[in-house]
Structure formats: C-alpha cells, structure tokens
C-alpha cells in the first residue's frame, strides 16, 4: 500500500501543476470580469479586486447586444441540431442494415466529408445563398451547418445501428411495420445513447462555429454568439473587465452543457473515432 501511495504521489504533483496551467486562463477571465477598469489598470492583473463589481455582466450583456446573439444562436442550434441528426440517422440506417450494391461506396463517399475543409464552399455558397435570397439571414447557416455535421454523425450512427440485431428488424417487418415505421419506432429509440451524445457534440460545434457565420452573416440582427463576441471585442478592446464579462457570458452555455452532460459526451466522441 505504501509503495502504491508513493507511485501516485509523483503523478499527482504533475497533474496539479498542469491543472494549474490549464485553469489559469479561466482564473484570469473571472478575476478581470469582476473588477473596474481603473482597478485593473492601477492594481495589476493579479491583484484581488477592490470590490466585486457585478455590474460588468449586465453592462456587457446590454452594450454587447448579447440578447440578440443568444436568440440567434439558440434558434440555429435548436433547429439545426435535431434536423441534422435526423437526416444523418435516416441515411445511416440503410447504410448499416440494408444490402444493396453501392452501399459501401456510398458510405465511403459520405465519409469523404470528414476531410473536406469549410473553405472550399465559402465563396460558391455565398453566391448560391445570395441567389436564393438566404444570404445574411439565419437560414443561410442552416444547410451548410448540416452538411459539415453529417459525415461524423453518419459514421457514429451507422456503427451503432450495426450493433442492433437483425432479428429485431425482421420481427418488426413480419408485424407489418413499414420501413420508416421500423426505423422510427424500433431503431431510433434503441440508438438513444448515440443520439444523445451526438446532440451534445453537435450543440457545441454549432454554438461555437465562426467561419461560415463570418462569411454568410453581416447585419448585427443575425449574428451568432461567437461572431457577436468577436465584434464586441473589436469595439471595446481596451475595456478589459467588460470584454472578459462578455467572454464569460458567451462561454457559460457550453461550459454548462459540458459539465452537466460530460458523461454522455465522452462516450460519443470516442465511439465515433475509435470503437466499432
């Protein structure tokens, strides 16, 4: 037992030192966001705040127009994430359970998307979205976001569906279930753990996305949280406490989702990349 304790002692010290460096930036953000500009400038970044200044948060929320950005990001994620996963599940089911000639090539074709960078679609989609009147609206983000989520989601869901025994599907068919009903009533409910993990992963990815929003959205009215935060920082660059309060406002939802749901999330990340 004493040997074992000694073994972990070294490792624990290493972990604690590293954890300090990983938490340090968060600490700086929190520390700065509760102070006045005057206090930061005169007291230095490491000093404790003179007094906790909560006002920075409502002020950042108001002058940063975060109400608008939150609304937009929530709308995009709440509509896009379920739709995207549903479309991916529809495609993953035949790729996992049907036998037809081009199945494997079709699957490989979808997987190619894993290696295709967003850059390649930016200009063509700007032109296309302009033509169909979606540019500079939230709708502009909908399909491009779905496309870049599909490959990973199809990969994970196909893997999961393959683990479901064929007998279940055959039984449903004998009972007279149509193909879509089989999928909707039998297959999808069984895949709940995978679907849940994908929901969280896709929520984070969608909430955080910058590049496409930067190109497709110009007016303040439709900016998402990352895009809005970027402009907010550009405008108030030297008001450090306000900027840091804005950062906290922007990251609170992702940190919350991550901390509360990390158990499901971890299994999904690894399932997609590694496990059968």
Partner 1 sequence: MMTKGLVRLQRLWSAYWLLLPALSIYVVFLLYPMVFSFLISLYQWDGLAPVKKFVGLENYRVFFSDPASLLALKNNIIWMLFMIAIPVALGLVLAVILNERVPGRTAFRAIFYSPTVLPLVAVGIIWSWIYNPTFGAVNSFFRLVGLPELTRPWLSDPKVALYSVILTGIWQGTGFPMLLFLAGLQTIPRELYEAAEIDGASRIQSFWYITIPSLRETFVIVVSILMIGSLKVFDLIYIMTWGGPGRLTQVMSTWMYFNTFVFHKAGFGSAIAWIITVASLGIAYPYIRAMSRR
Q: Which of residues 132-151 bind partner 1 (CB under 8 A)?
A: 143-144, 146-147, 150
Binding to partner 1 (CB under 8 A) within 234-263 occurs at 240, 243-244, 247, 250-251, 254-255, 257-259, 262
What are the percentages of helix, strand and coil residues in the chain, rounded to 5? 80, 0, 20
Q: What angle do CA 165, 169, 175 make, to 5 degrees?
A: 140
CA–CA distance from 98 to each of 91, 167, 171, 209, 272 (Å)?
Answer: 11, 13, 15, 34, 21
Per CB under 8 A, does 28 bind partner 1? yes
Residue among 34, 66, 110, 199 that touches partner 1 (CB under 8 A):
110
- Give the nearest distance from C-beta 117 to partner 1 in angstroms: 5
- Give the nearest distance from C-beta 265 to partner 1 in angstroms: 8
- 21 vs 219, beta carbon nearer partner 1: 21
Residue among 91, 135, 172, 198 that touches partner 1 (CB under 8 A):
91
Per CB under 8 A, does 48 bind partner 1? no
- Give the nearest distance from C-beta 192 to partner 1 in angstroms: 19
Half-sphere exposure of residue 274: CA atoms within 13 angstroms, side-chain side: 5
First to last CA, the chain: 38
- Give the nearest distance from C-beta 145 to partner 1 in angstroms: 10
- 91 vs 198, beta carbon nearer partner 1: 91
d(CA 268, CA 275): 10
Chain CA centroid to CA 244, Å:
21
CA–CA distance from 231 to each of 2, 16, 134, 219, 239 (Å)?
Answer: 56, 36, 22, 11, 14
> In which residue are the tokens 């494997």 written?
104
Per CB under 8 A, does 113 bind partner 1? yes
- Give the nearest distance from C-beta 115 to partner 1 in angstroms: 3
Q: Mark the segment that binds partner 1 (CB under 8 A) among 18-26, 52-60, 64-72, 190-198.
A: 18-26
d(CA 117, CA 1): 52
Per CB under 8 A, does 160 bind partner 1? no
Binding to partner 1 (CB under 8 A) within 187-216 occurs at 204, 207-208, 210-211, 215
Q: How many residues does the chain have?
A: 276
């Amino acid at each position: 037992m004493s040997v074992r304790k000694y073994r972990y002692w070294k490792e624990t010290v290493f972990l604690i030192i590293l954890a300090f460096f990983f938490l340090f930036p968060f600490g700086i953000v929190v520390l700065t966001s509760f102070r006045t500009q005057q206090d930061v400038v005169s007291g230095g970044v490491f000093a404790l705040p003179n007094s906790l200044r909560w006002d920075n948060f409502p002020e950042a929320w108001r002058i940063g127009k975060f109400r608008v950005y939150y609304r937009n990001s929530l709308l995009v994620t709440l509509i896009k994430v379920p739709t995207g996963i549903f479309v991916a599940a529809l495609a993953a089911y035949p790729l996992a359970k049907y036998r037809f000639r081009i199945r494997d090539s079709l699957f490989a074709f979808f997987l190619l998307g894993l290696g295709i960078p967003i850059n390649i679609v930016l200009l063509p989609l700007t032109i296309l979205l302009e033509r169909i009147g979606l540019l500079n609206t939230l709708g502009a983000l909908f399909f491009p976001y779905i496309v870049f989520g599909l490959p990973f989601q199809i990969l994970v869901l196909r893997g999961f569906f393959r683990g479901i025994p064929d007998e279940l599907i055959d039984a449903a068919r004998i009972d007279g279930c149509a193909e879509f009903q089989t999928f909707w009533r039998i297959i999808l409910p069984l895949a709940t753990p995978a679907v849940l993990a994908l929901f969280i992963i896709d929520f984070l990815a969608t909430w955080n996305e910058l590049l496409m929003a930067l190109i497709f959205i110009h007016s303040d009215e439709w900016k998402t949280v990352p895009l809005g935060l970027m402009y907010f920082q550009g405008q108030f660059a030297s008001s450090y406490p306000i900027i840091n309060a804005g950062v906290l406002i922007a990251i609170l939802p992702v940190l919350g989702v991550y901390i509360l749901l990390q158990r499901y999330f971890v299994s999904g990340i690894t399932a997609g990349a590694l496990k059968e």
